Chains A and B, each alone.
Chain A
Amino acid sequence: MGEETQASMQDMPDWSAYRGVMIVIEQRAGTAKKVSWQLLGEGRKLADKLEVDLLAVVIGHEVAHLAEEAIGYGADRVYCCDSSELKDYRTRPYSRVVLKIIHDVKPEIVLFGATATGRDLAGAIATHLPTGLTADCTILDVEPHPSRLLLASRPAFSEKMLATILCKQYRPQMATARAGVFEALPFDPLRGGQILPVPSQMSEAEIDAQVLRFMEATDHFNLEEAEVIVAGGRGLNGPEPFKLLEELAEALGGVVGASRAAVDAGWIDHKHQVGQTGYTVRPKLYIAVGISGAVQHLVGMQNSDLIIAINRDRDAPIFKVANYGIVGDLFQIVPALVQAVQEKKKVPGGRVQPEPQEVAE
């Protein structure tokens, strides 16, 4: 690695004017997206390794509290642009603000959530600067001083490979990073930091785009952010049995997923689909019911923390990635599980995490 760094340094310009790791916080109506706090958590590690400040950018209207929250989640300095025309995200007024901050502050790294808004904003900014932008990263690291390179790794070729991408000739180094991959720091309300106001860069009259309305997803369904997923496949044999899965998901505070076979058969909407051509998920708990485990499905869920598979066929490939397996009839096992979970939840003695005890002085 040492030699590699030496070689990589030779063709790099002097970037000593660029210091700091910057996270662009995404919010709607004054509530930050989870991915933003997750990126502050990861950004904290990168900033500590580079021995620089962790910076955050908060843009919106009446968002001063988010600047405070960003400090509680690990930021040292927050650049906050609060103005009525910034209430809703719109590409031009938001990108002008971020560009202004980047020009003035010169961070060496800028990270965004790989959401629709994050990708929209990052794509515009990277082209404006210009600089390199790596999409949808799942692993972030930095080489220590002197190269200070961001090692931005992301899935490639439909998740079959990972690629590490570098940007040597331009600053800042930019990347969008996937939700649900990195961990937020525990919120610390006593953490200190600096909040710096930034003026808006466009007046309402200069902005062509008008957000007419926003229809919030009523079911708040978000497979990618779910921490518990109960997914069904071909073994369900129809749309009705998904109700059983819903019951189990509800008992565990999760959502229902599906294999491509179930979606293609029209049993459930595409937004539930896990795997290639669907969503890649990594929940804390993934229960695969009646899913044989085709490669296309496995690539979308095999990084879940704990996997339980329920299938009739003992040789189904899904068992290869499962921590626990049950061979049997899902129509009997799933209802039994719902009942067992509900009864267990009523037992206070289960195994409750003890409250952290305050040490008496």
Chain B
Amino acid sequence: MLHIVVCVKQVPDSREIRIDPKTNTLIRQGVPAIANFYDMHGLEEALRIKERHGAVITVVCMGPPPAEKSLKQCISLGADRAVLVTDRGFAGADTLATSYVLGLTIAKVAAEFGAVDIVFCGKQTLDGDTGQVGPGVACRLDLEQLTYVYKVESIDRANNRITVHRLLEDGVEVISTRMPVLITALKEMNTVRRAPLPGMIKAATYKPVIWTTQDFPGLDRSKIGLKGSPTIVAKTWVPEQKHVDTEMVEGQTPREQADILVEKLWATELPGKFGWHLKQEV
């Protein structure tokens, strides 16, 4: 049986965060905490692999105790086990410190619950937006790494290989590698299912496994939390709204408006830059 680990982060829904125009600070109040949706596409793919090949799915999350909510959501969807790694010592971690703790966590999951074949992460988180934790975890565990995956084409158990499609800026790459592997999931990968009623009932009483710093005997405290984070946020600011003096193009007919606008356009550097009329001249 395959053992799949899915990394899930609970994040403030940054799409809902607003800036207070008076103080230029973030309004965090009332912003819902959600499971990072890219991660949920990873879970969905794990569930589909489970249905096709048979698998045990362990979901891991590093975060404060309320993150239990997202883990319960994963259980309701069909994950078999959830682990919450939570400790004040882990707080303030950047991507390097996060990948250290997630690496230790997945190693411990493998030691206690069986060797891991596939790790899923989301392509990035909604709040961090870096896409760095997936490659970081792969590096920590010395796993093969397949990022920006939107399709798992096949899993070859006999040869222990997996073939996926990666979506890049300039096309699609089909790549095969050995397992264990870490995959980062795109939202184009699948449509996340709704939780079935039995799943919701199971999740209601489910208690995730809780690990703190005490549960990792070899933990290097200089590598976790704020202390273990090389990057420092020096300042944040709200970019000034560019003040634009809008010129309204008036005219009697649409054609007249169009002509006036084109004259304005041709008075800029753009025609020269793009060679809009060079073709006719050469």
Please report A residues at the B interface, Cβ cutoff 8 Å.
Answer: 28, 88, 90-92, 115-117, 119-120, 122-124, 126-128, 130-136, 151, 155-158, 160-170, 179, 208-217, 220, 222, 224-225, 227-228, 252-253, 270, 276-277, 284-285, 296, 302-303, 306-309, 319-329, 332-333, 335-337, 339-341, 344-348, 350-353
Contact = CB atoms under 8 A, between A and B. Distances in A.
A296 B16 CA distance: 10
Nearest to A121: B135
Interface in B109-148: 126-136, 138-140, 144-148
B33 interface: no
22 contacts: A91-B135, A115-B168, A127-B140, A128-B139, A130-B96, A134-B231, A160-B17, A161-B239, A213-B173, A215-B174, A225-B169, A307-B244, A319-B248, A323-B244, A324-B249, A325-B246, A336-B257, A337-B258, A340-B258, A350-B266, A351-B271, A352-B271
A337 B231 CA distance: 49
B166 A116 contact: yes
A222 B127 CA distance: 25
Interface stretch (B69-77, B208-216, B274-282): B274-282
A328 B254 CA distance: 8
Nearest to B245: A323
- Residue from A120, A210, A227, A303 having most chain B Cβ neighbours under 10 A: A120
Given A165-B233, A217-B170, A332-B254, A284 B15 contact: no
Interface size class of B (residues with CB under 8 A): 35 or more
Contact of A324 (B129, B171, B178, B246): B246
A151 B234 CA distance: 9
A115 B237 CA distance: 25
A306 B265 CA distance: 9
Contacts of A329: 254
A222 B276 contact: no
A214 B175 CA distance: 9
Given A208-B177, A215-B171, A126 B255 contact: no
B213 to A, nearest CB: 20
Given A165-B233, A302-B242, A347 B17 contact: no
Contacts of A322: 244, 246
A212 B176 contact: yes
A98 to B, nearest CB: 13
B60 to A, nearest CB: 18
Interface of A is mostly: mixed
A306 B233 contact: no
A346 B271 CA distance: 12
B270 A285 contact: yes
Nearest to A123: B135
A303 B249 contact: no
B238 A208 contact: no
A306 B246 CA distance: 11
A158 B272 contact: no
B232 A166 contact: yes
A323 B268 CA distance: 12
B96 A164 contact: no
B174 A212 contact: yes
Nearest to B231: A132
A64 B259 CA distance: 49
List 6 tightest A-B contacts by C-beta distance, closest first.
A123-B135, A132-B230, A353-B272, A135-B130, A336-B258, A127-B139
B58 interface: no
Contact of B254 (A134, A208, A333, A350): A333
Contact of B233 (A92, A164, A179, A323): A164
B262 interface: yes
A300 B32 CA distance: 23
A348 to B, nearest CB: 5
Contact of A161 (B131, B169, B236): B236
A284 B96 contact: no
